[in-house]
Structure 1
Amino acid sequence: MIEVKNLHKAFEGEEVLKGIDFKFEQGKTNLIIGQSGSGKSVLLKCMLGLFKPEQGTIKYDEKPYSEFTVEEQRELRKKIGMVFQGGALFDSMTVLENVMFPLRMFTKQKKSESLERVREVLQRVNLEGTENKMPSEISGGMQKRVSIARAIVNRPKYLFCDEPNSGLDPKTATVIDNLIQEITHENNITTIIITHDMNSVLEIGENIAFLRNGVLKWKGTKNEIFKTDDETVTDFVYSSNLFRKVRKAQLQGL
Structure 2
Amino acid sequence: MALDDAVNGNADLDDVDISRPSAARVYDFWLGGANNFAVDREIGQKIVDAVPEVPAAARANRSFLRRAVQWCLAHGIDQFLDLGSGIPTVGNVHEVAQQGNPHARIAYVDNEPVAVAHSKNLLRGNPYASITHADLRDVDAVLTADGVAGLLDFDRPIALLTLMVLQYFPDDEETTELVRRYHEKLPSGSVHLVSHVTADDPVVDGGTAARMSQAMATPTYARDHDAFEALLGGAPLVEPGVVFAQEWNPDQNNSEPENSCVYVAIARID
Q: Which has the higher strand share?
A: 1
Larger Rg: 1
Q: TM-score scaled by structure 1?
A: 0.32
Q: TM-score scaled by structure 2?
A: 0.30
Task: Give the structure, 1 or 2, with the largest relative contact order (CA under 8 Å, sep 6 or more).
Answer: 1
